[in-house]
Chains A and B, each alone.
Chain A
Amino acid sequence: MIPISLVVNGQYFDDISVEPDQTLLDFLREIGVKSVKKGCGEGDCGACGVIMDGIYVKSCLVLAGQANGREIRTVESLGTVEEPHLLQTAFVDEGAVQCGYCIPSMLLAAERLLDRIPDPDETQIREALDGNLCRCTGYVKQVKAVQKAAKMMMEDHHD
């Protein structure tokens, strides 16, 4: 067993033992972070997306041992049902969510994009959401939702 310490959504986990071949994805689900999903387990579907030290990555391609000393954020860090993040509000408003399986990753990918480019064009949005497969929506509404969120966030910023 390998001891690791890391921060997940602001919570410190100290000296937790993980299997050497355990992925960050499996570790997160084990500690109760169920928004990350194992759609494929080999880097194709994107359902396992997390933000690691500020970078959007696929947690099925990270070994838990590699995450030692790092900061992980999942959709749980964005907003709550009572106080949703503007991206979450926009996704709901635009009808961009159907079954919801892909949405946590979509939101994280979008959050990283808007952090870098507050006013992205459609190509930039599509490129940022790329790698997250959605079997329900056809992506159009998700692109619209990110556009809407960008607008709301910029207005919010100016207030």
Chain B
Amino acid sequence: MLNIAALSGKIQEAFGALDRHHLNGGQRLAVKYFAVAMILFLAQLLFGLLAAIQFVWPGFLFDLVDFSVNRMVHINAMVVWMLYGFIGSVYWFLEEESGTEIVGLKWGEIAFYVLTGAVVIVVLVYLLIQTGPGNDATRWLVNEGREYIEAPRWADIGIVTVMLVFFYNVAGTFAKGRWSGISGVLTLDLVALAGLYMAGMFYSTNVTVDQYWWWWVIHLWVEATWEVLVGCIMAWSLMKLIGARRRIVQTWLYIEVALMFGSGILGLGHHYFWIGTPDYWFTIGGFFSALEPVPLVAMVVHSIYDAGVHRFRSTNHPALGWIIAHTFGNFLGAGVWGFMHTLPQINLYTHGTQWSASHGHLSFFGAYATINIAFFYLAAQRWRGNVWMGGDLKDNGWKWKWSMILLNLGVMGMTVALLIAGYEQSFIERAVEGSTWGGYFAAQNQPWFVQAMLWRLVFGVVTLAGALLLTWDLLTIGAGETRLALVLEPEEELAAEPTVAVAK
């Protein structure tokens, strides 16, 4: 008995106490979302590793948990944890941004449990039932069989219902409190985001029609509405972290909305080159998607410039670090890696090769995993009682720094390995062999490809190590910290004006 008491004392010391009294209503709900998001992130990596092992040793778990199942759980866990992170982030700042308590928070709580219950059931069915007969019941109950949105129809309806509750919380709270530029953009963006999901909720035998609408969900999410959502989240966090001025961040936000929607909406056409749709999409899709990197450059400039203006002084170093990782990751993964294969002349050879997987990894991680992790740190800080998280942290903050290094190194390593594999596939399978099955396998057997799959596995393990360290850090950072968070002095509104005048 004594031992247990001593042990729990040790645990207490390492992890400290998290006190929900430090959080407002929305933030208490937010940390629930963040906790599930973190668990799903780890699950994502675990199943990604299983799939990566199968590339190297195809007999592994064969006919038990096949590649298709592992991959589906991998990418679904990703989409769901990112949505959990976004929802949590919005609940996190909702009360501060609106200046009032959340309207209908009880419903939001219930929605959280309903959604989480549904996610658990869906994953269990994926793993235990896996497939069904080729009829409607399978699509309603087991698996819809469409990449990223495999969730069966019953779950789709549940998700939309939960989104409605979330939307009611958000719009109701802003309406009762106050509106701002950020909240206006955010609210309209959420309508679009939820509405788009419904474009993926019907069946079509015509595979061209099927994929046409499927891309509405996938592309118009990640290259339009999600980008604007994280734009809102970033605008708010820059004010919070470095004391940026509202007028500046909101102006940037509008510029980003204009550039992102202006390029991303018609950029959708870069998925309509080869699915049976008319060939005017070559021009429209190629042109507009080639412009998509522009707003991503703007975001880098914005965040670095603003952070520099404030001499990188911030209330939360790990969070600011991840915000900066977000802007670079978004620019590299989506902007550069996306641009590399977005023109139809190139995409003819890269379409559906590991090239896409390379881009998919760096973009989702760089754009969306990063900013969610930044919010996990904001939450940890406040949950501990708004403690110090600037420089000179306990142990020199090695855990957050190393987990950040390992995660970025791991994902970058996988991305480069997959890019090499993709190049090789484009040349050998696509250009030389003409994409026959024989050509496909010739490329898969190429030593460069085989080595790339091995390296991807190695860097996958590095990624997982980073994520485990991140989990440990989030659970322990700030424990026993007695200093309070840095207070940013309000910025002098006119400080920037003379420089502008001189420049003119």
A and B part of one assembly: no
A-contacting residues of B (Cβ < 8 Å)? none
